[in-house]
Structure 1
Amino acid sequence: MASKTDIHMIGNAHLDPVWLWQWQEGYAEIKATFRSALDRLREFPDFVFTCAGAAYYRWVEENAPEMFEEIRERIKEGRWVVVGGWWIQPDCNLPSGESFVRHGLYSQRYFLEKFSVMARVGYNVDSFGHHGMLPQILKKSGMDAYVYMRPNEQEKSMDRSLFWWESIDGSRVMTFRIPFSYGNWASSDKHEDPFKGKVQDVMALADQDGHSFMNFYGVGNHGGGPTIANLQSIHSLQQTYGSDKIKLSSPNAYFAEMERIGAELPVFRDDLQHHASGCYSAHSETKALNRKAEHRLLTAEKFSTIAYRQLGLAYPERELRRGWENVMFNHFHDIMGGCSIKEAYEDARDSYGEALHTAAVSLNAALQKISWSIDTMKDGIQALSKDMDWALWEQKDEGIPLVVFNPLSWEVHAPIHVNKTVKGITDDQGAAVDLQVVRGSRTNRTDKYDTLFMGKIPAMGYRVYWIYKEKSFSPAPSGQLAADRNVLENDWYRLELEAHTGHIASLFDKQNGVEVFNGKAAVPVVIDEHHCDTWAHGIFEFRNEVAKFGDADIKLMEQGPLRARLRVVSRYNRSVLRQDFILYRDKPGIEVKVKLDWREEHKMLKLSFPARIADPKAAYEIPYGHIERPVNGEEEPGQQWLSVTGVHADGSLDSYGLTLVNDAKYSFDVKDNDMRMTVARGAIFADHYGDRDEECEFMDQGIQQFGYALIPHEGDWRTGDATRKAMEFNVPPVSIIETYHKGALPQSSEGIRISASHVIAAAFKRSEDDDGYILRCYETNGREEVVEIAIPMLGRTWNVPFGKYEIKTLFIPDDAEAAVREVNMLELQA
C-alpha cells in the first residue's frame, strides 16, 4: 500500500509562447519540446508527461501532423496526460467571466474531439493570481481540481499546500499550490545537487502535512521539459527511497489518490492574490483592446443568432470562433499581464485587430439584415430618391428611420449619437423626442455637427426612431440641466470643479442631501515607481506620491437641453490630461471621457476619489462575480466596477456608497475611504530588475483614451445596480440609418425578458453542435430566486431556479417540443 506521504513526480514543460520572444519563436519551441517529450517517453517506459494548452496542440496538429498522431497514441496509452482544459495559461484576473468560459468550451471540446479525453485538472502554474469565481467555472467546465504556484508562500501564507478552494456560490475544487517551482530550479542554494535537494524539501513538506505531495520537474519557460538527466536522477532517488515513495505520476493520479484516501483538508474562501501587482495596469493599450474585443464578440454573437433565427442569415460560427481564439491567446499571462517585449505587443495589437474586425463584420451583417427587414415604408413613397438631401434618403418631410439596437438583456435608457444634423426626432409611435446638436468628428466645411437624443431600447432588441432633416417638434420638457464656467447641475447632482486644479471641489447628491466626497476628487496623482520592475515584484501598494496634475484650464464645451460638458485640461511635466465631465438631464451618474498624453518614465498615474464615508467596505467586480477586500491600500485587480460603502460621514445615512465604473482599466486600490483607479504606468518593457540603460523603452507613452463614471447611491453596490450600470457603460447601443422599404419585422422588438433584475444574460449564441441555442445567465446580487425567462422569437417561456451567484448555461433545442435544459459550460449534459 502506498505511503501517505508519497511524492508524485510531475514531468512537465511550462512554455511561455510569448514573453521575451514573439509567438513565432514559441511556435517553434512547442514543436521541439513535444518532440523531446515523445523521445523521453520512448526512452523511459515509466515516464509520464503532463501538458496543458489547447493552442499548443493545435499548432502541432497543423504544422507537424505526424507528431500529432504520435501524441494521440501516447494519450491513449495514458502516459501523455492532458491537463488545463484552457486555450493557454491565461492571466487569471483580467479576462472577463465569459472569456474564462470560452477557454473551457473551445479547449475541452477540442481535446474531446481529437483525443477522446478532457482535462480533469485545471492547470495555471505560472499565472500571477487567481480570481475567486474560478472554482465554479472550473467545476462547470469539467474540472474538479486545480494546480497553481503563484502567489507563493512569501506572498500569501496558506495553512496547507492542498486545500478545498470554494467560490461564493459554494462550488469547490481540490487545489494544490506547487512548492518552490514548476521546473528544475531548487528551493534554495543549500543543496549540492539542486534537483535531488528540491525533491527532499518537498518530502519534508509532505511529512509535515501528513499527505502526499506533487513535485514538478522539467526545463521551463522556454520549454524543454524533462531531460534525460532528470529521469536518471529520479531513478537514483527511487533506489534510495523506493519506487512507491518517489513515483513518476500526473496531476490526475495525484488528485485521484487524495480523493480516495479522503484527507481532511481546510476550506479556503477567497481569491488567491497577490503576485505581480504591477501587471494589473501594465500596458494600457492591450487591456483596453481586450475589453473592447470581448464585448464586441458577444454582441456579434447575439445579433448573429437573432438574424439566423428570424431571417435565415448564416450563423458565422467559424469567424466568431477565430475571433475568440485570438482573444484567448492574448489572455496569456505574459501578454495580458503587460510584461512581454515591445514586439510582442505589436503582434497582440494585430491579433486584437483581427478579432475586432471579424466581430465587426459579423455584427454588421446581422444588424443590416435585421434593419433591412423592418417595415419602414410610408404612404406616398414610390421609389428611393435623394432629391431632398445628399446624405439622407428622406422624402416629403416624412423622416428617415434610424434603427437602434441594444445588446443587453434589459431595456436601456441611453444617449444615441446620430452622425447627421437633424431638426426633429420621433420614436416608433410618433412621439416627439428631445434632441441636441453636438460636435461631430469631422470638419467638412460647415458640416461638422451631429445630433444627440436619449433612446429607450428594448432588451436584446431594437427600436426604430425617425429623424427629420428639416421638420422640428416640441417635446414636453422633463427635468433641469444647468451649466456655468465650472459648475454642472441636474435633478440628481450639483458638480463644481476647482478653477486652478480642475479637481472636483464638490459633488452634492441632491436626492439624498449629502456631499459625496471628503475633499478634492478626480485628482490625478503621480506615483514614483523607480524601484519597481515591470511586474512590480514584491510591491503590493503604490503610494509614493510625488506630484499632482495642475495648471488647469476649464472650458464649457456643451450646454444643451440634454447634456452639459465641462472640459478640464491639466498638466504635469510634459504630460497632459484632458477630462470631460458630463451630466445628462435625463440620466443619473457623472460620466467622464478621458484623453491622456502620458510622457512619464518610472511613474504611475492614479485618479483619486475620497468618498465621504466612515467605516468603509470595498467591493470589486471580478469575472462573473464580486469580492470584498480590505481597505488597506493594496493594489487589487478588478473588472468594470469598484464600489465603496459605509456610513455617510455626516451621520444622515446609515448606508451610502459610491461606485466607480470604467471601460478600459483593471487596477485599483482603496485606502480607508480613498478609492483610486490606476490609469497609466511608465514601466520599462520586460524589465526584470535588469541593467537599465539608454536603450530601455517605456510603456504607455503617448495618447490613450478611456472613460469612467461616478454613481453615488444610498445603500451598497447592489442598490446602486453596479453590474448593470457598468455593462451599460461598456456596451452602448448600436445604430444604423436606414431608408424606406417593406419588411416582415415590426419597428420595435424585444429579444428577451428576465423577471429578475439581478440575473443577467451574458451570452446568446448557437450551440456548438448546431442543434439549438445557448443562453448563459448569471446571478449578481447573492439572492436565490426562481426566475422566469422568455425569448419571444423562439416562442419559449420557462422558469429557472438560480442559486446565489450562480452561472447557468441553458440549452434551448431547435425542436420546439423538447424542453429547455441546463447543461454545463461545455454545452454537455450537466
Structure 2
Amino acid sequence: MIGTGFGERLGADGQTVHAGDTPGVTPQFAQVVARAGLRGAVVPVHRPTDCPVFYLCGLDGSRVECLTAGVGSSLLWLATQGPSEKRKVKSSEIVTELGKKSGCVTLHWGGQLTQHSESALENLVDWADNAEFKIRFGTASGALAGFSGTGELEEVTGETPSLTPFLEPVYPELIPPSTKAVNGLLRAEQAVAMASVVCGYAVSDYDIRTAWTRQLEVMDCHYEGSEAVRIIRERMGDQAEVIHCADRIRQEAQSTIAERVSVGNGPPGTLPVVVFNSLGWNRSDVVEIAVSFLGEEEPADFTRYEMYKIVDARGETVPSQEISGRQTTSAQMQLRFAATGVPAHGYDTYYLVPKAPDAGQLMGIQEPGMMAPDFPEPSFVIEDVEDCVSEPYRGIRVARRFRNRFYDLDVDETTGEVGILDRKLGRSIAKGIALVGREEDLEGGINQYRYTGRKYELMVDRVDLEESGEIQATVLVAGRLASSRVEIRYRMYGEIDRIDVDVSLSWTDEKPVRIQVEFPIGEGKVHYGVPFGHNTLDNVIEGSGPFRDGDMDRETWDKQRECQGWISVDGKDGGMVLASDRRAFEFDKGLVRGDVLRSCPDPASYSYHKVWRRYPEKVTCRYSLRGYEGNFAEARAYQDGEALNQPLDTRCVYDADSPKPLPSSMSVVDLQGEGIVTTAFKNVENREGYIMRAYETIGNSSEAKLVTNVGLKHLSEVDLLEKGSVELDPDRILFAPFEIKTMWFDLDSDV
C-alpha cells in the first residue's frame, strides 16, 4: 500500500505516502503511516482553513503530518495538457480556488503508482512560466517541512468516507473477488507457517510474493476508457490465477500436516478428517468433506463403508449429514458436520469410522451413509414449519415460518420478504429483508446517485425448503427482479447460532438500476469493521466531505460507508451483527442496504448509441446474521466477518502407514487477549522466524499472552515493514486501544 520497500530497492528514501486521489481515508490510516516509519502523507481531506498542513491522528493516538490534496491532481493535469481552450477553463478554476484560500492553494502532480511522461512534465513547466499567478514547485516532504514551523497545526481524527461511489457493484466480476483473493493469500501464508513449525515444511517466498504483487496490480487498475474491456478481462484472469495459487499453496501445506496426524485407535479403514483454523481464536462451524472409499483388497469392494459414523478424538459420535454420494468402481461421498472448538492457528481431528453390523442386523444397503439399526435416531435442524393462511381467500397459504433452536425465519410468499426472530432474545433482529432495485436517471453520471422514483421489487416464483438435514437446512426464495432471475438461500443450522444468506442474481436487463439487499435492523449504535479496527457512523473528520466537482452530493455521502467484514447494531435489549463478503453499504434510519449490482451504460456508449455493461452469468454475495445479548464487544461481533471470509478447512487422510508423530489436536501459536485480532501469521522473508500482526479492536487497553505448542526462542516487536526490534515479554504483551503490533519470533521446530 505504501510502497516503501519498493522505493528502497530503487535507492529512494521516501518520507511521505501519496494518497491524494484515493476516494477516502480510514481512521487507522495515520497509525499505519506512522508505524511504517514515514513522516507524513498527502490525503484528499478537505479542510476549511487556509493552512494546507494538519495532523491526522489515529484511533490509537498516533499522529502524522498531512498535506491536503486540495482540488485534486486531475485539475492540474487538465490545466496543463490538451487543447488550449480547455486549459484556460481549468486554469480559471484554479484562480477561483486561490480566491477561496487567501491566495494560496496546493495542487499535487501525479497519483498512486503513477509517473507522468517527460512531455507532460515539460507542459507543466511551460504552463507555470506563462501562468498569471506564481507557481512554486516542491515535494510533499518539503511542503510539510515548510509549514511545520509556521504555527501550531490543527489535529483531526476520524474517517473520511469515499467521496465517490464505491465501484464494487459496478465491477462485480472483479472487485468483490479481491476479498476472496486477499483472504486466500492470508490463509496460505498461515498454513505454510504452521507446516514450517510442525513439519519443517518450506515453500518458495517467490510464489507467495509474486501472488501478492499480482493481486495488488489487479486492485490498482483504471477500469474506464477504450481499453476497459481488455484490461478488465486481463485483470480477471490475473485474479483467478492468484486465487488458484493461494488455494494450491494452502492445500499442499495443510496436507503435509494432515498426513502426519495420528490416525487414532479406530478399526481398520478409519479415515482421519483434519479440520484447520486459520484465525486467532477457537472456532466452531459447519464443515464439508469429500471422501473417496477404496476397497480393503479390491478397489470396488467398499462394503465396509456402507455404514459409517463421524467421531471426535474422544470417540464420541458427531452428527453428520450426507450431501451426495455415488458408486462406480469406487465410492465417493460428500458430507458435512459441525466441528467444535478447533484451536486458534491450529487443527483438530475427526474420524470417519466404518461400522460393521452384527450378522443379525445386516440390511440390504446400497448407498453410503444409510443408518444401521444400532445407530442413534437422527434429529433435524428444522423443528417446525408453520403455515400462515389467508382466511378471506379460503385458507390459501401466504407465508411460512421455519423454526430451529435459535431462530424463527418468517417468509412472505407474496413479496419474498423475510423476518428473523431471535428466540433467545425473544425479539426480532430483522424485519422485511428484501432484494430491491432503484432506477437511476443517468444524468448524474457514475459518481452520483440520482433516482427516477421507480422501484423494482422481487416477484416471487417459489419458496421451498430445499434441504433439511441434521446439520443444515436451506430455505430457497426464487423469483425475478425486473426480468432477471434471482435466488436467495437462507441457511439455518442445528448447532451454530447464525443464519447465512446467499444471494445469486443473473442480471440481463438493460436498465440503469442500483440493486441492493435491504436489512431493516432497527435503530441503535452502529459499529463496523475497518482495516485494523472498527469505526462508528459519527466518527467522521470534522469539516470533511465532498468538495470537488464530481464528488457525490453530501446527503448521499453521509449515508455511504465501506465496511470491512462486519456491521453491528447495539440496541437496548441486545444487538445483532451482519457479516458479509461485500464492503459497500448504505445506512438510512434503521435500514442497512448492501450493494449487489449497479447496472449502468458502458463507457463505450456515445451519442444515441447506448451500450450496456455486461455482467457475470451469476452475481453473488454472502451475508450472515446473528443476534446477541449485551453489546458488540461482549458478543465479539468483530469475529463474524473474519469467520465468514476465512472458513474452516478440511483434509481427509488415506495414508495409514507413514509415521504419524503429530497429536490429534494442536494450536501452533495463540495470541490470547480480550479484543485482540490477528491478521497475519507467516514466515519472515530473508531471515529466520515468523511474523504475527495483531491489533486491539474494541477500543480498550488489553494485555495479551503468546502461547505456543513448541518452545519460544525469542519475541520482539518490529514496525509494519518488519524492521527494528524491541524485546517483548510473551506473558505480558500490552496493547493500547486500537494499537497495531507486528511481532517477530522464532520457535523450536520439534513437536
TM-score normalised by length of structure 1: 0.73
Unpaired runs of 5+ residues, structure 2, are 292-305, 357-371, 387-399, 540-554, 714-729
> How far is 1:768 from its partner?
2.4
CA distance in 2, matches of 1:495, 1:219: 49
1:683-698 equivalences under 5 Å are: 683-686=600-603, 691=606, 693-694=608-609, 696-698=611-613
Alignment of 1:74-93 (within 5 A): none
Please tell me whether residue 178 in structure 1 is matched to residue 69 in structure 2: yes
Report how far residue 595 of structure 1 moved.
2.0
How far residue 426 of structure 1 moved from its aligned partner, in angstroms, is 0.6
Read off the aligned partner of 1:163 and give its amino acid letter. Answer: F
Match of 1:513 in 2: 426
Q: Does 1:450 align with 2:334?
A: yes
Whether 1:525 and 2:441 are equivalent positions in the alignment is no
**What's the counterpart of residue 455 of structure 2?**
546
Structure 1 residue 410, shift from structure 2 partner:
1.0
* Deviation of 1:297 (Å): 0.5
Residue among 362, 365, 371 paired with 2:249: 362
Report deviation, 1:549: 0.5
For 1:215 and 1:348, the matched residues in 2 are separated by: 31
The match for 1:628 is: 536
Compute the displacement of 1:326 (Å).
Answer: 1.1
CA distance in 1, matches of 2:609, 2:127: 44
- Following TM superposition, by how much is the alpha carbon of 1:436 offset from its aligned partner in structure 2, in angstroms? 1.4
Q: Select 1:258's aligned residue among 147, 152, 163.
A: 147
Partner of 2:726: none
Amino acid at match of 1:798: D
The answer as to 2:148 corresponding to 1:284 is no
Mapped pair 1:721 → 2:633: no
> Using the alignment, how far apart are the partners of 2:226 and 2:448 within structure 1?
15
TM-superposed CA distance for 1:422, in Å, is 6.5
Please list every run of 5 or more consecutive structure 1 residues that lacks an aligned counterpart in the other structure. Answer: 1-102, 380-395, 648-652, 817-830
What letter corresponds to residue 201 of structure 2 in structure 1?
A: L
Counterparts in 2 of 1:217 and 1:422: CA distance versus 1, 3 Å: same
Q: Distance in 1 between matches of 2:324 and 2:257?
A: 29
Inter-partner Cα distance in structure 1 for 2:508 and 2:328: 32
Pick closer, same or farther for the CA change 1:509–1:216 going to 2, 3 Å.
closer
State which of 471, 493, 500 in structure 1 corresponds to 2:407. Answer: 493
How far off is 1:376 after superposition?
A: 2.0
Q: Distance in 2 between matches of 1:445 and 1:598?
A: 42
Q: Report the Cα offset of residue 777 of structure 1.
A: 0.6
CA distance in 2, matches of 1:191, 1:265: 37
Establish whether residue 777 from structure 1 lines up as the match of residue 668 from structure 2: no
Report the equivalent of 2:366: none
1:230 to 108, 112, 124: 124
2:56 pairs, out of 157, 165, 169, with 165
Q: Which residue is 2:547 aligned to?
A: none
Q: Does the Cα contact within 8 Å between 1:479 and 1:491 map onto a contact in 2? A: no
Structure 1 residues 419 and 544: CA distance shift in structure 2, 3 A:
farther
Q: Quick one: distance in 1 between partners of 2:606 and 2:526?
A: 39
Q: For 1:110, give the aligned amino acid.
A: F
Task: Answer whether contact 1:481 1:562 (CA < 8 A) is retained.
Answer: no
Between Structure 1 and Structure 2, the one with more helix by share is 1
Q: Which residue, 511, 515, 518 being the options, matches 1:608?
A: 518
Which residue in the other structure is 1:94 paired with?
none
Matched, 1:214 2:106: yes
The answer (yes or no) to whether the contact 1:372–1:738 under 8 Å persists in 2 is: yes
Is the Cα–Cα contact under 8 Å of residues 423 and 469 in structure 1 kept in the other structure? yes
Alignment-derived partner of residue 140 in structure 1: 35
- Residue of structure 2 in register with 1:269 after alignment: 157
Summarize deviations over 1:134-190 as a string: whole Å, max 9, x none. 1111111222311134x7x6xx96786432222222222222222334233349x99
Aligned to 1:434: 319
Other-structure match for 2:571: 646
Give 1:201 shift: 5.5
Deviation at 1:318, TM superposition (A): 0.7
Cα shift readout 1:346-386 (whole Å, capped 9, x = no counterpart): 1111111221122122112211211122232758xxxxxxx
Identity of aligned residues (%): 19
User: Residues of 2 paired with 1:489 and 1:358: CA distance?
Assistant: 41
Which of 514, 526, 540 does residue 618 from structure 1 map onto? 526
Partner Cα separation in structure 2 for residue 159 and residue 553 of structure 1: 61
Deviation digits for residues 671-697 of structure 1, max 9, x if unmatched? 11111111111123347xx63554613
Query: Distance between the aligned counterparts of 2:711 and 2:498, measured in 1?
Result: 36
When the two chains are superposed, the root-mean-square deviation of aligned CA atoms in Å is 3.5
User: How far apart, in 1, do the equivalents of 2:525 and 2:49 lie?
Assistant: 24
| Superposition map of 1:269-418 within 5 A | 269-332=157-220, 334-335=222-223, 341-376=228-263, 398-418=269-289
Residue 301 of structure 1, CA deviation: 0.5
Structure 2 contact 50–101 (Cα < 8 Å) conserved: no
Could you tell me how far 1:233 is from its partner in structure 2? 4.3
Find 2:576's aligned residue among 648, 651, 658: 658
Instruction: State the shift of 1:606 in Å.
Output: 0.9
* Superposition deviation, residue 706 in structure 1: 2.8
User: Can you list the C-alpha shifts for 1:218-272, whole angstroms capped at 9, x where unaligned?
Assistant: 79989435443432443466xx98xxx743311111112222x153232222222
Please tell me whether residue 736 in structure 1 is matched to residue 625 in structure 2: no
Instruction: Tell me the SS of whatever aligns to 2:631.
Output: coil
Q: 1:589 aligns with which of 494, 498, 511?
A: 498
In structure 1, how many angstroms separate the alpha carbons of the residues matched to 2:653 and 2:633?
Answer: 39
Matched length: 663
The 3-state SS of whatever aligns with 2:60 is: coil
Can you list the C-alpha shifts for 1:105-151, whole angstroms capped at 9, x where unaligned?
xx322322330x332111023222222221111111222311134x7
Q: 1:439 to 1:577 in 2, by over 3 A?
A: farther
- Verify the 8 A CA contact 1:682 1:701 in the aligned structure 2: no
Residue equivalent to 1:109 = 5
Report the Cα distance in structure 1 between the residues aligned to 2:731 and 2:178, rounded to whole angstroms.
34
CA distance in 2, matches of 1:807, 1:575: 45
Conserved? CA contact 1:435–1:451, under 8 Å: yes
Take 1:114 and 1:229, find their aligned partners in 2: how far apart are those partners?
27
1:812 aligns with 2:733: no
- Aligned counterparts of 2:8 and 2:452: Cα–Cα separation in 1: 49
Give the drift of 1:617: 3.1
User: Residues 313-372 of structure 1, C-alpha deviation per residue, up to 9 Å, x if partnerless?
Assistant: 22331100011101111221635x999822221111111122112212211221121112
CA distance in 2, matches of 1:436, 1:339: 51
Cα distance change, pair 166–692 in 1 and its aligned pair in 2 (3 A): farther
- Alpha-carbon distance between aligned partners in 1 of 2:115 and 2:17, rounded to the nearest angstrom: 21
| Matching residue's letter, 1:165 | L
CA contact (8 A) 1:425 1:467 kept: yes
